[in-house]
Structure 1
Amino acid sequence: MPFDHNDHYHRLLLRHLPKEGREESREVGRRALDIGCGTGRFARRLAARGYEVDALDPSAEVIAEAKAIAEAEAIGKSEPIGGGPRYRRADVTATDLPEGHYDVITCLASLHHMPFATVTRLRAALAPGGALLVLGCYAGRTRRDLVAVPANAAARAVVHVSDRLRGAARPPLQPPVRRPDMSLTDIRTEAARLLPGSEVRQLLFWRYLLTYDNSA
């Protein structure tokens, strides 16, 4: 049943984007980096907001599908909205990132595939006033997760029935999945140490939202 926990929080992430007023005086457009972009759904939403998006993923297969989806969506348009993301196969832990370059860096359900300390490299790549937004996964169970079990089942059922009624095509290719190994407590401890001033908020569906504002 194709209910996607990460897609469910796209609107929440978009509400945490830096205010456009900070960038109005720039000669170039606002820049975004989407890490672990998968087939590019959130990267395309950033592009639709006017960002110049670099979308990275270590899987050649999912990058190929992201490009194919973008090409299919661009048919009939004079040009992709916002210029379209620039998809590239890359491992962010082994890739040089331009310092102080990005107005927003997003990381959806991919940080647990790499050392948590990678957030310090991402912080260095943020422009002044930029934001780091991590929709992450944590290990273990909390009391709040008990609520997520029936909510998850209900959401999956609704999506499944809706797709059957619409005759929806197959869901897009999914990137490799890895179980997280850090608890929510560990994540909060490390975030406070590595990203002073950051906030970690627990969400439903075994997710958390880490926000960091590079206003210093």
Structure 2
Amino acid sequence: MGINRTVWSEHYSQGRGFRRLGDDEKKLIVEHAPAQKGCRALDVGCGTGEMSAYLASLGYEVDAVDLADTALARARTDHPDATVRWLRLDIERDDPAPLDDALYDLVVFRLSVAFVHDRTRVLHALGRRLREGGTVLVITPLAAHTSAEKRHIALDEDEISALTCGWTIVQRLAVGDLAALVLRGPCADTVATERSVPATGYAVAGALAIVTDEHGRVLLGWSNRGMWELPGGKIEGAEPLDGAGVRELAEETGLHATGASVVTILTDAAQGVPRVTAVIRIAGVTGTLITAEPEKFTRWEWHDPHALGCLGPVFTPGAQALNTVWPGVIAGLPPVHSYPTANAGPRGSAGCRSTASPPTAASSPCPQAPA
């Protein structure tokens, strides 16, 4: 079941919902996100509102969002006395303006995060709405405990690794057959990371594709090597550099480029082996994004360029390529030589550090439970 208003509206109008909120989940909230006066909570994918009403009973001021009107109608009927602001909002695609400029002490995804495609982007965006010491709590079924026909409602271990990447504090707890992820500090530094298998040969030549969507978000894949990577790979034979990027994009993601150009050539070394990387800017794409090579990648997601400095491990050439298109967005990169092409335009030098100060969160009236 995908995130689609029509599908979900039918789901709730048929009287269906999700598993009831358990005592062990309530205990989890009390222990790891205790409320005090003035604390605010956001319940994402609130469904029929059981979690929202419970948070309100603890003293939270609650915003509850769901994309289905039928879910919210049932929530209002089932919890008429709950002090909750019910909002229709697709947290992944809609303008977040209905949330105003609210800062939260707690953001909860209960049984909903598996239905969000760009989970990393969404969680980090909401993480920037946390007050200092605030918490994102994800409660999710696990693929290992879920039948094959319901696999889409659960996360496997690789998906959990991608979801928690880039957070400063990550705590994982068992809640019956569910997993609870307690996340704090949504901006762990991006770290340029090399693959564990050493490079071989006298030199390595490859191409990496920079692809953006209509919102300017860039495509990255969580690889089975435990890092974020751009679409790309080694050049085959005498193929052109831009052709290599286009080919790798199609092979890995199912997307087909409508235009491509080389914006710069990067040279460095991997495990002592010289490495040449062509950075290919893709003008546009057609097709449907898929994980075409699951043996290499767990998933593909669209990321906001301004958040690229908070992703955790990123394959070194990919981090350097991103920094040539968005100079200074990733700090502390290892040395690299960049040779912009004539059609690249002014982009700044690769590897430069950002001088902008990170945003600071408002102080929280709520205690931060130890991780």
- TM-score per shorter chain, which class? 0.5 to 0.7
When residues 19 and 215 of structure 1 are mapped into structure 2, their CA distance, relative to the original with a 3 A threshold, is farther
2: distance between equivalents of 1:101 and 1:85?
Answer: 16
Q: Greater helix percent: which structure? A: 1
Are 2:60 and 1:51 aligned? Answer: yes
Query: Does structure 2 retain, via aligned residues, the 8 Å contact 1:6–1:109?
Result: no
Alignment-derived partner of residue 21 in structure 2: 7
Letter in 1 for 2:89: A
Alignment-derived partner of residue 64 in structure 1: 73
Query: Does structure 1 retain, via aligned residues, the 8 Å contact 2:168–2:185?
Result: no
Identity of aligned residues (%): 24
Q: What does 1:67-216 align with in structure 2 at a 5 Å threshold?
A: 67-71=76-80, 74=81, 80=82, 84-93=83-92, 94-96=94-96, 101-115=103-117, 116-117=119-120, 118-139=122-143, 141=144, 145=145, 179-180=152-153, 182-183=155-156, 185-205=157-177, 207-214=178-185
Letter in 1 for 2:184: D
2: distance between equivalents of 1:98 and 1:17?
Answer: 26
Alignment-derived partner of residue 167 in structure 1: none
Letter in 1 for 2:180: L
**Equivalent position SS for 1:135:** strand
Q: So what's the TM-score if we normalise by structure 1? A: 0.64
Once the two structures are superposed, residues 12-44 of structure 1 have per-residue CA deviations (whole angstroms, 9 ceiling, x without a partner) of 332244345xx66xxxx2111001111111111
2: distance between equivalents of 1:50 and 1:87?
Answer: 16
Q: So what's the TM-score if we normalise by structure 2? A: 0.39
Query: Does structure 2 retain, via aligned residues, the 8 Å contact 1:188–1:200?
Result: no
Once the two structures are superposed, residues 132-172 of structure 1 have per-residue CA deviations (whole angstroms, 9 ceiling, x without a partner) of 11101232x2xxx4xx99xxxxxxxxxxxxxxxxxxxxxxx
In our comparison, the structure showing a higher alpha carbon Rg is: 2
Query: Does structure 2 retain, via aligned residues, the 8 Å contact 1:30–1:50?
Result: yes
2:49 to 36, 40, 54: 40
Unaligned 5+ residue runs, structure 1?
75-79, 150-176
When residues 60 and 127 of structure 1 are mapped into structure 2, their CA distance, relative to the original with a 3 A threshold, is same
When residues 98 and 194 of structure 1 are mapped into structure 2, their CA distance, relative to the original with a 3 A threshold, is farther
2: distance between equivalents of 1:52 and 1:33?
Answer: 9
**Equivalent position SS for 1:91:** coil
Letter in 2 for 1:35: V
What RMSD over aligned residues (CA atoms) do the two structures have, in Å?
Answer: 3.1
Letter in 1 for 2:28: L
Unaligned 5+ residue runs, structure 2?
1-15, 188-371
When residues 60 and 204 of structure 1 are mapped into structure 2, their CA distance, relative to the original with a 3 A threshold, is same
Shift of 1:120: 1.0
Letter in 2 for 1:136: T
- Higher RCO, 1 vs 2 (CA within 8 Å, ≥6 residues apart): 1
Query: Does structure 2 retain, via aligned residues, the 8 Å contact 1:100–1:128?
Result: no
2: distance between equivalents of 1:50 and 1:120?
Answer: 25
Alignment-derived partner of residue 163 in structure 1: none
2: distance between equivalents of 1:32 and 1:68?
Answer: 21
Query: Does structure 2 retain, via aligned residues, the 8 Å contact 1:39–1:63?
Result: yes
Q: Greater strand percent: which structure? A: 2
When residues 66 and 5 of structure 1 are mapped into structure 2, their CA distance, relative to the original with a 3 A threshold, is closer
**Equivalent position SS for 1:132:** strand
